[in-house]
Structure formats: structure tokens, C-alpha cells
Amino acid sequence: MNWVAVSWGVLSLVLIVAEILVPGAFLLWLGLAAGVLFLVTLLMPALPILAQIVLFAVFSVVFIQIYRTKYRGRTRNSDNPLLNRRADQLIGNSYVLETAVVQGRGTVRVGDAIWTVRADQDLPAGSTVRVVAVTDGMNLAVEPVA
């Protein structure tokens, strides 16, 4: 066994072990590319070092693209899809206006937080409103409760 093949094999193991220690999914693909190059250099020991480096780069790009297209874009089903979307959790709930809606803007208190609300009509403070949508990411669109 030649020292170049052994070097690619060691690099492959180091990168795969580093992937275990470091979060993410990047070093694994480089480790697999080094592993494939280990096999290539076993079969073709006279392959020039420059060709080996080019093949390593090509294999790395191919493995990373496979990862990006096959695995990275997958959506995970969650038992609580609105967990990190607090404003969306408020849709359908009713609250009492903290301040009056004047020129389409007012506020409601939700727990210990004050939220800006938008409405199509002016409403006095103390009115009960229902959240119908989230606008601009953090503003609640509301309508009066009949």
C-alpha cells in the first residue's frame, strides 16, 4: 500500500470523526470524498498528486450537491408547527384592546407582552377584538367581536 493512499484514508477518517464532534453536515461529505479518493489511489497508485487534488475537489462538490438536493430541502413534520411563530399562534384568539385603535393602529396585551394591532375601523380602548391575521411579521390584524 502506498503512502499517498494511506494519507487519503487517514484524512477521510479524520474528517468523518470531526463531523461527529462538530455539529452540522459538511465535513462528512468531504470525508466521503477523501474515502473515494483513497479507493481510487489504491487502484491507480501512479495518479499524479495534482490530479488527486482535482478529483478530491470534484468528489467534494458532487457529494455536497447530492446532500443539498436530496436531504437539506426536506421538511420535517412537527407536532407543533407554530412553535417558533408566536404571532401565528394568536390567530383566532380574542383580546381586549389596551389602547384605542386610532387611524387603524392600537395595542392589545397578550400575557406580559404588548402587541401592535391594525384594524379597518377605529375602536375604543376596552373593546374585544379577534386576531384574523398577522401583517408585517409582528402586527396583528384584528376585527371587532360582535
**Per-residue pLDDT at 96 exceeds 70:** yes
- Does an H or E element contain 113, and which? strand 113-118
3-class state of residue 97 by DSSP: strand
pLDDT in tens, 5-14: 899 999 999 9
With beta carbons less than 8 A apart as the criterion, state whether 107 and 99 touch: yes
Q: Which residue matches cell numbers 394591532?
A: 117
Average of per-residue pLDDT across 118-126: 92
Give the pLDDT band of residue 73 (cuts 50, 70, 90): low
Average pLDDT, the chain: 89
pLDDT in tens, 43-55: 998 899 999 999 9
**Per-residue pLDDT at 89 exceeds 90:** no
